[in-house]
Structure 1
Amino acid sequence: MGKTILFDVDGVLLSEHRYFDASALTVWELIHSENYLGLQSDRFHTDVTESEVGDLRAEVFQEDEVLYLIKSKGINANWDMVYLTFSFQLIRLLAQLNEVKPKYVEKVFQDMTLDRQALQEIGGELYKAGIEPDYKTFVPVMKDVEAMRGELLTHLNQIAYEMTGIETMAFTRNSALWELGRETFQEWYVGEDLTEKSIGRPPYQQGKGGFVHIETPLATMEELDNLFTKLKDDGYTLGIGTGRPALETVEPLENLGILSYFDRNRMATASDVLEAEKKYGDKAPLAKPNPFTYMFAWLGRSSIEEALDYSFTEEEKDSVIIVGDSLADGLAAQSLGCHFVAVLTGLSGQKARKEFEQNDQHTIIDNIKDLHKVL
């Protein structure tokens, strides 16, 4: 049986910091742009400098403490991070509005579809009531929540109830609000020139240059070339299992000159996850730590149905290695029963070692360039 290595991209091959920058800017836009809530709208603009991006990320994600917390709970997809962070802020804002307009907030939670038009209307009510955002509130509340992984997204409904006393099912993984966050994130990440190619419509907000063109590899190109050449010579088939959409996976790897090392039939992305969730909504969420991404890649993208139902034989388990930087990747590998190599170039850096070890993931390397040594 052939041997296969499936790589995550962010935090393994490419730096994930640009993705977190785009996530922070997305939450910031949803709160401050007049296209959405429009609170303190004079703060919003698209021609952000590198310094401003750093400051905004530090504010929105509280010096990345928000990101550390979300990732520790097994959520690794940036779209889910955006949804969780923004939805929490929206609930907190509506909880304050509930003190003066309880009937309106009940209508929001029980009767309204939280789309762009609804956010603009809600923003108007918040503005009239003088209610402003506060990014410091996320960690103190969410750190004590026991829900993990995909359950954390629907737990937002419970948080809404605890803050307002109003029962709601407004917050789900496949909601209009989740989709709005995804599309807004894509505008920031790919830029206005590629937005329509990415999400099928022109950008709502002009002036975004995009981060996809300025990706940073986590090893030198010579080190990556040497690694992939050795692995191919040793008989490994190389594939990808990433939370990035297809466009943001193929473009940077091709620009860096390393796309050709990977079997294109064994590259699964967030685009495949979205397609699968649309087809099988009852199975959602299928993003990592759900093992669907890696199984779909290993099966050569043959069939969504097969990837949802397939189980490795003992021989197959021993032939597959997943390389990732996050707890979500490790949990996916554990679900499949295959080997896992943890790389310490993700958000948490060396701090992640303890988390991996606590989850019985002991094959750990400092950088992807060291992979061949542990194989």
Structure 2
Amino acid sequence: MFTDVLFDIDGVMLSEERYFDASALTVNELLTSSRFLGFESVAGTYRADLSDADITQIRQTVFQQDTVLEKLKNVGVNANWDMVYLVFVSELAHVLSTCETNSALRAAAADALRAGWHVEAMAQLGRVIRAHVGVPLVSYTHYDALYGGATTRDELFERARTVLQTLLGLELDDRKLWDIGQETFQEWYLGDAYTHASTGKLGFLTSEIPLVDPASFQSLLKDLVASGIRLGIATGRPFTETKVPLEFFGWWQFFDAAKVSTASDVLVAEQRAPSARPLSKPHPYSYLRSLTANDDTTALLRTSLPLPGKREQVLIVGDSIADALAAQRLGASFAAVLTGLEGASARPKFERLQADFILDNALQVRDLLLSDGVVASEAQE
């Protein structure tokens, strides 16, 4: 009998669409804004005042009609901050490939980054490149050239680190570059009202799209708690983006705050134990933290996995391969919901991963746990 249910948010409760939009806008800003590299782009150059049509056009260009998103998801990349970093590097690496035959550019680029990645260093790198080769036009067609054939998240990051080191002739802390992308993403997603900035970015917090009927899902959560089941969350969202929309839809009240793990918590853990990075999904850290309601990073990382006897007690509800892999490593059961990026077409992937259950949506958790043991849709069928 399940005693704990741990939910992912994006692709389960709320649509990922706005997160993907913000990711694309971030990548394009890093490449085209004068604050950063100042290149030109087939998706258009940076500005903050964008219509929905503009945002759609930029996303479809940056992520190649979402095929790049599917490729990232298929190798276990779950965090949008990771997506920003990886796609940005694939385009920057293409531009920097001219360094291999232009020694003056290579030397000047290396000099611009001698002190490491930071915003002014990126702006200086952009000026150097423009001075030596003119203003590059970013086409967003180079993802496969760098990452083609990669099968894991770790392999993607290793290729990104290696190509930058090779082209620049420098060993740089790529985490600093990742941080710049993360901070810029937060500006887009939260908007000026929450970041107290004056960028002109409105943010997306007030335009979240629920994937389930809010009242029906609230009823499900209420009934699960009433039946004695403990509820938790493990999400790639930071804390604010988790709490604000869940409060708006009336869901937050059913979760013990100690059993909610967000990207903010993962960042803290990585700062405490930098040698353990990355701790984002598919690493099971966030699910283990939520299950145990324990914030002791050292103790959690020393926990022997998979946990014995938890397949009958712990159910993870997610939409991604990263969630499935985390559940396997934790030793929990996994219910895949077909409301993520690929929708129902993701079913064969979850079948290959031997998901315990495959559900049309998160509301069918009721059938699993509260309806006389009736299972909505078993993966084996």
Give the CA deviation at 1:313: 4.4
Considering only aligned residues, what root-mean-square deviation do their CA atoms show, in Å? 2.1
CA distance in 2, matches of 1:334, 1:77: 19
CA distance in 2, matches of 1:242, 1:214: 19
- SS at structure 2 position matched to 1:194: helix
1:114 aligns with 2:117: yes
Aligned to 2:261: 268
Q: Which amino acid aligns with 1:258?
A: W
Q: Which amino acid aligns with 2:58?
A: L
Contact 2:12 2:337 in 1 (8 A): yes
Quick one: which of 128, 140, 144 aligns to 1:135? 140
Aligned to 1:145: 150
Contact 2:233 2:290 in 1 (8 A): yes
Distance 1:301 1:108, change over 3 A: farther
- SS at structure 2 position matched to 1:341: strand
Quick one: which of 347, 355, 358 aligns to 1:364? 358
- SS at structure 1 position matched to 2:153: coil
CA distance in 1, matches of 2:109, 2:24: 29
Aligned to 1:200: none
Contact 2:112 2:124 in 1 (8 A): no
Distance 1:19 1:151, change over 3 A: same
Aligned to 2:48: 46
Which deviates more from structure 2 when the two are superposed, residues 317-326 or residues 76-85?
Answer: 317-326
Q: CA offsets per residue over residues 122-150 of structure 1, 9 Å max, x none? A: 1112223122212011134422234x123
Aligned to 2:309: 315
CA distance in 2, matches of 1:110, 1:116: 10
Aligned counterparts, 1:255-294, within 5 A: 255-294=248-287
TM-score of the pair, normalised by structure 1: 0.91
Contact 1:154 1:171 in 2 (8 A): no
Contact 1:239 1:267 in 2 (8 A): yes
Distance 1:17 1:192, change over 3 A: same
Give the CA deviation at 1:247: 0.6
Unpaired stretches in structure 1, ≥5 consecutive residues: 197-202
Contact 1:325 1:342 in 2 (8 A): yes
CA distance in 2, matches of 1:245, 1:113: 26
CA distance in 2, matches of 1:260, 1:161: 47
Aligned to 1:225: 218
1:56 aligns with 2:49: no
Give the CA deviation at 1:108: 5.8
Q: Which amino acid aligns with 2:344?
A: Q
Aligned to 2:379: none
Which deviates more from structure 2 when the two are superposed, residues 40-49 or residues 318-327?
Answer: 40-49
Unpaired stretches in structure 2, ≥5 consecutive residues: 370-381
Q: Which amino acid aligns with 1:262?
A: F
Aligned to 1:85: 87
- SS at structure 2 position matched to 1:314: coil
Which deviates more from structure 2 when the two are superposed, residues 285-294 or residues 97-106?
Answer: 97-106
Contact 1:13 1:368 in 2 (8 A): yes
TM-score of the pair, normalised by structure 2: 0.89
Give the CA deviation at 1:157: 2.7
Aligned residues: 363
Aligned counterparts, 1:1-375, within 5 A: 3-40=3-40, 43-100=45-102, 101-104=104-107, 107=110, 111-128=114-131, 129-130=133-134, 131-146=136-151, 148-160=152-164, 164=167, 168-170=170-172, 172=174, 175-196=175-196, 203=197, 206-311=199-304, 313-375=307-369
Give the CA deviation at 1:231: 1.6
Aligned to 1:199: none
Contact 1:77 1:243 in 2 (8 A): yes
CA distance in 2, matches of 1:195, 1:107: 32
Stretches of 4+ aligned residues off by more than 6 angstroms: none
Q: CA offsets per residue over residues 290-327 of structure 1, 9 Å max, x none? A: 00000011111342222212236423442111110000
**How many percent identity over aligned positions?**
38
